[in-house]
Amino acid sequence: METTGKVTLVGAGPGDPDLLTLKAVKAIRAATVVLVDDLVSPEVVALASPQARIVHVGKRGGCKSTPQAFIERMMVLAAREGETVVRLKGGDPFIFGRGGEEVEHLRAAGIHVEVVNGITAGLAAVTSLGVPLTHRDHARGVVFVTGHAQRGGDAPDWQALARAAQQARLTLVIYMGVSGATHIQEQLLSALPADTPAAIVQHASLPQQRQAVTTLGELAATIEREQLASPSVIVVGDVVRGIAEARRAPQVRAA
């Protein structure tokens, strides 16, 4: 079925509108319908045309969410009506954003769909602390993993991830892991030393950003003591050791 409309999945990044790509800004401004995720900042939504129809379709762990099937149906119907639809998603659409599912559904419905990448929260979080995700002396790679298992699905094998991180010198970047931090900590300690550096960053890139630097052995206790909550990113690995040195040097800002 041919349609005159189209859908673009746009990564809104971690929240700071200055971190949007030029392509993302162009897509948002051109949209006639914008479906907005819960974690997209108001400053990013404000870039849409005053004539655009803004629909908030919140999807956030632990909160009441708009059913995914309903969101997909809205995109298809709007595109078939000739609308220029932007699905505005926090971070990057293809990193824990269910973008893959939405692209598959839209293509199956015969809808033209494009994807505009955004800066993922894990990258913005460590950059805000002045350290990298990879480093020739500290980390040869990085693993992005969700701490939130799909209902009825398998949880990550944290012990296997810990062994891989130890053997291959990898940085672990854990999304949606605050509520399960105690379990994650216990499992990672099966192969990683308790003094492995760790950091927790809440609201990465936003004015209300909060963070704490700790060790894997103190991860859950630090989250509780500092009252860090979702949305937060947990970073585990030797790259975090560089935070003290980075704070003594000129600050590096995400750009």
Closest CA to 78 of 4, 157, 183, 129: 4
Query: Tokens 């379709």 identify what position?
Result: 57
Name 161's Cβ contacts closer than 8 Å, sequence gap at least 6.
143, 145, 172, 188
Q: Which of 16, 37, 75, 89 is catalytic?
A: 37
What three-state secondary structure class fits 206? coil
Q: What is the number of alpha carbons within 13 Å of residue 96 lying toward its C-beta?
A: 26
From the list 6, 74, 176, 238, the catalytic residue is: 176
Burial of 226 (0-12, 13-18, 19+ CB in 10 A): middle
The single residue of 59, 75, 89, 92 carrying the catalytic annotation is: 59
Q: Beta 84-89 vs 197-202: how paired, if at all?
A: unpaired
171 has which bridge partners? Answer: 142
Q: Is-contact 220 243, C-beta < 8 A?
A: no
37 is catalytic: yes
Q: Is 1 designated active site? A: no
Q: H or E element: which one contains 224? A: helix 219-226
Residue 176 annotated to the active site = yes
Q: Which residue numbers are catalytic? A: 37, 59, 176
